[in-house]
Amino acid sequence: MNPFKRSPLVIAATTLVYFFLYAPIVILVLYSFNASRANVKFEGFITSFSDRVQMDGSFVEASPCGPFHWYCDLSKNNDVIEAAGNTLTIAFTATIVATVIGTMAALALQRYDFKIKPFSQLSLYIPIVIPEIVMGIGILTLFSQSFGWLNQALNLTGDSRLALGIGTVTVSHIAFMVPFVTLVVQARLQGFDKSYEEAAMDLGANEWTTFWRVTFPMILPGVLSGALLAFTLSLDDFVITFFTNGPGSTTLPIYVYGLLRRIITPQVNALSTVWIAIVFIAVLLLQWLQSREAKPSH
């Protein structure tokens, strides 16, 4: 029995919230096919595949991509390609480092007793309880002050001067990603029965072998979901990147933000649509992998 499950009130509210979540995304995608350069009004879809298409009521020169005009435009935009490259480089590097050191810390916090343990555990909560902008300007201050001092002390000039760039963004990303990796892996370790390891050692495996043959495979799903969370946090990050990037290290969110403050063409919508599509496929793939793991194999 469950007399509350099918309450029409709950169903109505649910439908409304899902509509609220998806309406903006649908509109965003729709406008990426807009036959208008100003992208203020929806002028209809681009229908023909010719070199001259009707846009804002008049004919203009265009690539023969038809409805996908703005996607073609996007693929020719070097700034976007560079920003995408930066975003992925930063996300991959930061994820690898954060996952390795974060997993190590989770093991330490869950399995060992040591002097700085309370401090280590407490520092993990900083990114959760402190607004990102506070961390962002703090890190910016750290870099600008220490770089200024180092450049002067070491007499660095020109290109060898320390400056904000991909390196500073990556290092900062790791700082706010690590706690999430550690907390996720720690949660996984909490439900881990020590008798598996004891059994391995009983059967003659030393600590090192036990870790790699027993412990690690069993916590791997936790490590992977921690890594995935870290990766998405990095891809999505705006605030920390905003304060720590420099010339040549623009990421996609920063690039889009820059465009929003100037003239917006449907190119931004095309970019957003591509992004949403990639996210959709990634989440789908992940769900599929999880459901495959959950099913018992016969």
Name which of 27 and 51 has its Cβ closer to other proteins.
27
Name which of 69 and 87 has its Cβ closer to other proteins.
87
Handedness of CA 79, 84, 89, 94 (dihedral sign): positive
Nearest approach, Cβ of residue 277 and other proteins (Å):
10
Nearest approach, Cβ of residue 50 and other proteins (Å):
28
Residue of 131, 87, 104 lying closest to 226 (CA atoms): 104
Name which of 65 and 175 has its Cβ closer to other proteins.
175
Nearest approach, Cβ of residue 176 and other proteins (Å):
8
* Phi, psi dihedrals of residue 40, rounded to the nearest 5°: -85, -50
Name which of 35 and 252 has its Cβ closer to other proteins.
252
Name which of 49 and 228 has its Cβ closer to other proteins.
228
Nearest approach, Cβ of residue 64 and other proteins (Å):
27
Nearest approach, Cβ of residue 250 and other proteins (Å):
13
Handedness of CA 183, 188, 193, 198 (dihedral sign): negative
Nearest approach, Cβ of residue 136 and other proteins (Å):
9
Name which of 10 and 60 has its Cβ closer to other proteins.
10
